[in-house]
Structure 1
C-alpha cells in the first residue's frame, strides 16, 4: 500500500538525517583537534518497483566516509619534534601499549604529531604513540630496508646516558712538496698529528711522519716518500709504514703511482684505504687511490694539509633532537656534534579513504585502502616532513553549521511526513465507525 511506503520513507529519512547529524556533531567537536579528518554522510535513493497508477516510496539510505585524503592547514609551533606532512603521505607510528605487549610493531599512520622524549628515551606523542623509523648505521647512512612491510621499522629511541662514538675511518687530503725528493734536498721529514676517539670516547692521536727519499748524486728525482704512523694510545708504537711513489709524467703528475706496505694493513690501490690497528681496533685510513686526484699528492714546493675528515666523537650529553625535511632524525650533543640515528619514511596508499579510522587521529591500512609503500620523504608522490609544525583539523565550522541547519529542517520535514501518514491512517480507521 502506498501510504505504508510513505511511512517507511519518512522513517528512513529520520534515520538518515540522524546519521548525518552524528557526523556533523563529530566534526564540530573535533574542529580544534590536530590531524582530524572530517566525516561525511551521503544519501542514496532507494527505488521500488512501480507499476500502474500507484507509486511506492523507496526512501533513502545513508553511507558514511572519512575523508582521510583531505589536508588541513599547517600551523607553526615552538617544538622541534612537532611534525606534520607537507603534501601526500603519512607518518608511521605504533601504539606504546601494543608494542610493550608484543614487541612487534603494528603499523598505524597519522599525518601529524607532537613528539617528545619520554622517560625511556622513545619519541612519543601525548596520546601514547611512538614515532617509527629505520635505524641508521654508525656512519649515519641508512641500510636498504623493504618498503612494503614493517621489517626494519622500529620505534625511534635515544640513549639518555652519555654516549661515545669511536673513530673507525679517516680520510686525508694532503700535498707533499715535490722539490724535497730532488737530489741535494735536505730530506727533512714532515710531521702531522691526526686526532681520533677510542672506544671509551677518549681523545687519542696518530702521529704521521712523511720522509722524502733523496736520491744519491746523479739520481735526479725519486718522487718517493715513506709514511709512518704511530699510535699515542700504545705509547707511540709503530702501527703502519708505507712507501709511496708518485707519478712524474705530464698526464698524471703528482698522483699516487704505487704504494708498498712495509708494516701495517695492506694498502688497497682501488679504494685507497689502508687499515691500521690502533689500540681500540681497526681504522680505515684513506690516503687516495692510485691514479686519483684525491688524497695524497706531490706537487710544487709546499707541504699543505688540505683536509682531514673522520667519524667518531668524544663523550657528550644529548641536548636536542631534530627531524629534517627528508625524515632524518638527528641527535645533537653538547660537544657540538650531531649524529643521524634514524630515518622516518612516509607511507602512501592507493586509496587513503579506505583506511580504518582509529582513536587519536590514527589510521590502519586495510584491503580497501590497498597496500602501503614506504617512501623516503620528498621522493616519489610523497611530500616532505615539516618540523615545528602541526596540521589542523579539516573541519570547516561554518560549513558544518550550515549543514546542521539543513539537516534539522530535513529531519523535521520527515517527522511531518510521519505525522501526516499517521493522521491519514487514523482517517482510514475512522471510516469503519
Structure 2
C-alpha cells in the first residue's frame, strides 16, 4: 500500500505542477495585457490516516486564485475615454448582447481599466465588446438619487456625435448709471434705453428692451424714474413696469431708495431681483439692492451702462467628451457649454478576490465576493477615476520565469518518483521469477 500511495502522490505532484505551469503560462502570455490580474496556484498537502507505523502518502492538492486586489501601474494615453481606477474600486460594464436583449441590469460586469470609443450606435465600447455603464443625468446636469446596492438606474453610456445643446437664459444682472440731471425741473424728460439679448428655451435669440423715463417735476428734482421692460419674443409687449426712486442724501446719494412694482414680478429688496415673465418663462433680473452702488445708480450727467451679465447660450455642436476624476462624463460644445451627461459609479465588494473572472479583463459578482455597493468616485474606499490612462498588467515576468524554473524542477522530481516506484514494482514482480 505504501508503494502505491507513493505512485499516487507522484501523479498528484505532476498534476499540481502542471496546473501551476498553466497559471504561469497565462501570466506570462498576458504580461502586456492592460488590466490583467495575475493568477496564482497554491499547493496544499493531503494527509491520510496512518496506522501501525506505516505511512501513506496523500499527495498534494492545488487551489487557483486570481489576485484582483493587486493594482498595476498606470500609463498615459492620448484618448480621453481611456480610463483606469486609482484605488480598489471598479466601474460597471455590460456586453453588447445584453443591451440587444434588454437584460442590462442582470448582466453587469466590473472592470478596473478599459479603452472606450464610440461605436456605430454611439455606445462607449471597449475592443473586447464591453459597453460602459453609468447613471444618466437629468436635463439640468444633476444626477438623481439612484439606488446604491442595485444596478437599477444604470444605463449604457451613449454619445450622439451630432447632438446639440443650448441653455435658456434664466438670470440677468444689470448695472448702469442714470443721469441725475434728467430728473431736474430743467430737464427735457428724454428717456434712456438699453437692449439685452437673451436665449429662449429653443436656443433662439430674443431681446429685452429696458427703457428708463425720468419724472420731471415742476420745481426741484424728483430723483424718480419709470423703468419699463419689453420682450421682443412677446411682440414687444411690456412684461414689467417699476417706479425707481433714488436717494439724494449724503453718503447714500445716488443709490436706490425704493422700487415700486406697477406690473410684472415683485421686486425683492433682499436680493435686488425682480421677475419678468418673457415668452419662454420667467427671468430673474437683478438691478441691485437698496442702498447698494453695485446695481442701478443715479449720479452726475451721463447715462453709463456699467455691466450686463446673463446666463444661457445659443445652440452649439458637440466638440469633445471628457471624464473627470469624480466619474462625470461631460460633453463640451463649441459655444463653451460644458454639460454633464452621466456619472460613472465606483463599485466595491467585501472580497474583491472572490469575484468571478470572465473574458476581457472583466469580473462578475459571485457568492464569494459578497454584495456590491456603489460609491461616488473620489468618495469612500474606492478611489478615483483617471482619464487618459490605462492600467498595466500585474505580471512580473522575472518572478514568473523564476517560478517556471522551480515548477519545471518540481515536475521532473515527481516524474523521478514515479520512475523509482515503477522500478521498485518491477523488482517486486521479479522476486517471483
Whether TM exceeds 0.5 here: the answer is: yes
Pair 1:199–1:409, CA change in 2 (3 A): same
TM value normalised by structure 2: 0.85
Verify the 8 A CA contact 1:66 1:353 in the aligned structure 2. yes
Does residue 1:87 correspond to 2:80, yes or no? Answer: no
Pair 1:96–1:144, CA change in 2 (3 A): same
Pair 1:19–1:330, CA change in 2 (3 A): same
Distance 1:207 1:304 in 2: 14
Distance 2:104 2:378 in 1: 27
Cα RMSD for the two superposed structures: 3.4
1:195 match: 197
TM value normalised by structure 1: 0.85
1:9 match: 9
TM superposition shift of 1:35: 0.8
1:309 match: 310
Distance 1:69 1:294 in 2: 60
2:38 match: 38
TM superposition shift of 1:340: 2.0
More displaced stretch, 36-45 vs 121-130: 121-130
TM superposition shift of 1:316: 2.5
Verify the 8 A CA contact 1:207 1:231 in the aligned structure 2. yes
Pair 1:210–1:143, CA change in 2 (3 A): farther
TM superposition shift of 1:69: 0.9
1:55 match: 55
Pair 1:99–1:13, CA change in 2 (3 A): same
Distance 1:271 1:327 in 2: 35
Verify the 8 A CA contact 1:171 1:295 in the aligned structure 2. no
1:368-387 mapped onto 2 (5 Å cutoff)? 368-387=368-387
Verify the 8 A CA contact 1:115 1:126 in the aligned structure 2. yes
Pair 1:315–1:381, CA change in 2 (3 A): same
Uncovered stretches (5+) of structure 1, i.e. residues with no partner? none
Pair 1:188–1:102, CA change in 2 (3 A): same
Verify the 8 A CA contact 1:86 1:385 in the aligned structure 2. yes
Higher alpha-carbon Rg: 2
Verify the 8 A CA contact 1:275 1:282 in the aligned structure 2. no
- SS of match in other structure, 2:368: coil
- Length, aligned pairs only: 429
TM superposition shift of 1:360: 0.5
- SS of match in other structure, 2:379: coil
Uncovered stretches (5+) of structure 2, i.e. residues with no partner? none
TM superposition shift of 1:387: 1.6
Pair 1:297–1:66, CA change in 2 (3 A): farther
1:155 match: 156
Verify the 8 A CA contact 1:147 1:373 in the aligned structure 2. yes
Does residue 1:114 correspond to 2:115, yes or no? Answer: yes
2:133 match: 132
2:206 match: 204
1:332-343 mapped onto 2 (5 Å cutoff)? 332-343=332-343
TM superposition shift of 1:403: 0.9
Distance 1:292 1:153 in 2: 51
1:315-334 mapped onto 2 (5 Å cutoff)? 315-334=315-334
Distance 1:72 1:373 in 2: 23
Distance 2:186 2:66 in 1: 82
Verify the 8 A CA contact 1:252 1:291 in the aligned structure 2. no
Pair 1:192–1:23, CA change in 2 (3 A): farther
Pair 1:161–1:5, CA change in 2 (3 A): same
Measured against aligned partners, the alpha-carbon deviations of 1:5-39 in whole angstroms (never above 9, x if no partner) come to: 21221121111111111111111111111111111
Pair 1:293–1:46, CA change in 2 (3 A): farther
Distance 1:292 1:124 in 2: 58
Distance 1:340 1:294 in 2: 37
